Amino acid sequence: MSAFVFVTPTWDAEPWCKALQKVAPKLDIRLWPNGGKVEYVTYAAAWLPPPNELRRFPNLKIIFSLGAGVDAILGDPTLPQGIPIVRVNDADLTNRMSEYIVLNVLMHHRQQRRIDENQRNKIWQPFPQHAASAITVGIMGLGVLGADAARKLHVMGFNVVGWSRSLKHVEGVKSFAGASEFDRFLGETDILVSLLPATADTDGIINSTLLNKLSRRGPFGAPILINAGRGRAQVEDDILACLDSGALYAATLDVFRKEPLPVTSKLWSHPRVSLTPHMAADSDPETICRYVYAQIERFENGEALVNVVDRLNGY
Ligand code: NAP
Ligand code: GLV
């Protein structure tokens, strides 16, 4: 007996079941939490699983994350050990993230919020625009998503630099690696994009100290922050203080330390903050189910899984 279970407490699992059934009509698909005998379950696909849930399945062979990030799965203190965790690395999700990053870099670069404000007030006020080449976009986390966004921004004429743990080779992008090169990366960056995973090392990394090290040579005289990685990387009070002091010119945030963002957060109404409710790059059920089932087929044919999470690194 081999069954597949979806553990997606914050999502409607119905479209996921339908999509997987379409790709794998013979697969025995169960719905959490009333999926029948837990002993039958060999594959679980999860998004924000409640702690202590995955350990209920004693015969699990693979855990699939239905997103690229795995912090919620790895944060489960009773997560079964020794079972591969496969995360999403898929062109559809990557393209969606690059759309979000390019959209927001351009939104700040072309001062779209100022233009919208002028339209609301019926003010006809052309103002000088600068070239993309006047701006350096620095991407923290030059992984699957960061590298794709970097390539696309480079094609548009922006200077692009990236920072990750290991050195990368992305055409047209200057790569920095590790703690020793972090300050040089920050010093070149006018628009900082974070696509870092949430790990012990990245927790609170976007704080006043970091923001004060960013370049002030860009056209706005102060840097801009875009975070679409994880909220745990940011110190929200520091971001607000830097916006108020002028140390930060503006911010776009898709992710927050606490989600949904509490209505009491000052970020909601800050005039220089654009925010989105963690929707920069959706996981599409059909695409991701095709990806998941292809991995199950590989596994059952004795082939190696791909995009397996390194539990020690935390991503
Ligand atoms: P990835 O391919 O694993 O890339 C992560 C990058 O971060 C790697 O380049 C890695 O460096 C770097 N990194 C990790 N820890 C670091 C550290 N301590 N110092 C410096 N660099 C560090 O992951 P991905 O697919 O690009 O996804 C990145 C993150 O985006 C996910 O983990 C998730 O949190 C977030 N995400 C958000 C959304 C959304 O809708 N907002 C959607 C999808 C994903 P190395 O390459 O050297 O290891
Ligand atoms: C979304 O946040 C993801 O990790 O895919």
The CATH number of whichever domain residue 40 belongs to comes to 3.40.50.720
Residue nearest to atom 4 of ligand 1 (CA): 143
- pLDDT for the residue numbered 33: 83
189 phi and psi, to 5 degrees?
A: -95, 120
Residue 310: inside a domain: no
- Residue 40 lies inside a defined structural domain of this protein: yes
Q: Measured from the CA of 255, which atom of ligand 2 is nearest?
A: 2
Q: Which token pair is 188?
A: 């070149």
| Residues lining ligand 1, Cβ inside 6 A | 67-69, 89, 97, 141-146, 164-166, 195-199, 201-202, 228-230, 254-255, 278, 280-281, 315
Of 139, 148, 164, best ligand 1 pocket probe by most atoms within 8 Å of the beta carbon: 164
The span from the CA of 301 to the CA of 66, in Å, is 22
With a Cβ cut-off of 6 Å, ligand 2 is lined by: 67-69, 88, 283
How many whole angstroms from 128 Cα to the centroid of ligand 1?
A: 36
Considering the domain architecture, whether residues 73 and 183 belong to the same structural domain is answered as: no
- Active-site residue 272, yes or no? no
CA distance 185 to 138: 7
Query: In this structure, are 101 and 41 located in the same domain?
Result: no
User: pLDDT 10s per residue in the chain (315 long)?
Assistant: 799 999 999 999 999 999 999 999 999 999 888 778 999 999 999 999 999 999 999 999 999 999 999 999 999 999 999 999 999 999 999 999 999 999 999 999 999 999 999 999 999 999 999 999 999 999 999 999 999 999 999 999 999 999 999 999 999 999 999 999 999 999 999 999 999 999 999 999 999 999 999 999 999 999 999 999 999 999 999 999 999 999 999 999 999 999 999 999 999 999 999 999 999 999 999 999 999 999 999 999 999 999 999 999 999
Ligand 2 geometric centre to CA of 44 (Å):
17
Nearest CA to ligand 1 atom 36: 229
Do 125 and 180 fall into the same domain?
Answer: yes
User: How many angstroms is it from 296 CA to the middle of ligand 2?
Assistant: 21
Distance (angstroms) between ligand 1 centre and the Cα of 209 equals 21
67 and 117 co-located in one domain: no
Is 306 contained in some domain? no
Catalytic residue, from 151, 272, 278, 311: name it.
278
As a whole number of angstroms, the distance between CA 301 and CA 292 comes to 14
Same domain flag for 190 and 139: yes
Q: What backbone torsions phi and psi does residue 63 show, to the nearest 5 degrees?
A: -110, 125
| Pairing assessment for the beta strands 173-177 and 159-164 based on DSSP bridges | parallel
Name the residue among 179, 142, 145, 134 with its Cα closest to residue 161. Answer: 142
C-alpha 96 to ligand 2 mean position (Å):
11
Residue 52 · residue 33 · CB < 8 Å: no
Classify residue 97: in a domain, yes or no: yes
Residue 246 backbone zone (phi > 0: left; psi -120 to 50: alpha; other: beta): left
Under 8 Å between Cβ of 93 and 68: yes
pLDDT at 35: 75
pLDDT digits (tens, 9 = 90+) for 17-59: 999 999 999 999 998 887 789 999 999 999 999 999 999 999 9
Residue 3 in tokens = 């069954």
Residues 139 and 47 reside in one and the same domain:
no
> 55: which DSSP letter?
G
- Closest-CA residue, ligand 2 atom 5, reads 67
Determine the Cα–Cα distance for residues 289 and 17; give it in Å rounded to an integer: 9
Protein residue whose Cα sits closest to atom 30 of ligand 1: 229
Respond yes or no: is residue 230 known to be catalytic: yes
Residue with the nearest Cα to atom 8 of ligand 1? 143
Q: Are residues 202 and 269 in the same domain?
A: yes
Upper half-sphere CA count for residue 307 (Cβ side, 13 Å): 21
Strand order in the sheet with 85-86: 28-31, 3-7, 41-46, 62-65, 85-86
Residue of 50, 59, 51 lying closest to 4 (CA atoms): 59
Strand partners, 176: 163
Which residue of the set 230, 257, 298, 311 is catalytic? Answer: 230
**Is residue 235 one of the residues assigned to a domain?**
yes
163 domain-assigned: yes
Q: Which amino acid is at 31?
A: L
Q: Report CA(46)–ligand 2 centroid distance (Å).
A: 12
Select from 125, 235, 143, 269 the least CA-distant residue to 195: 143
Alpha-carbon Rg for the chain, nearest whole angstrom, is 21
CB–CB of 206/235 below 8 Å?
A: yes
Predicted confidence (pLDDT) per residue in 249-291, tens digit: 999 999 999 999 999 999 999 999 999 999 999 999 999 999 9
User: Is the domain of 67 the same as that of 196?
Assistant: no
Q: Is residue 161 part of a domain?
A: yes
314 domain residue, yes or no: no
Q: Is 100 exposed, middle or buried (0-12, 13-18, 19+ CB in 10 A)?
A: buried
Whether residue 157 is found in the same domain as residue 32: no
Are 53 and 43 in contact by the 8 Å Cβ rule? The answer is no
Residue 226 and residue 246 in one domain? yes
First to last CA, the chain: 31
Q: Order the strands of the 224-227 sheet from edge to edge.
A: 173-177, 159-164, 136-140, 191-194, 224-227, 250-253, 273-275
- Based on the structure, what is the number of domains in the chain? 2
Residue 98: strand, helix, or coil: helix
The values of phi and psi at residue 227, to 5°, are: -115, 115
Q: State whether 205 and 157 are in the same domain.
A: yes
Domain of 164?
93-275
Q: Do residue 113 and residue 179 come from a single domain?
A: yes
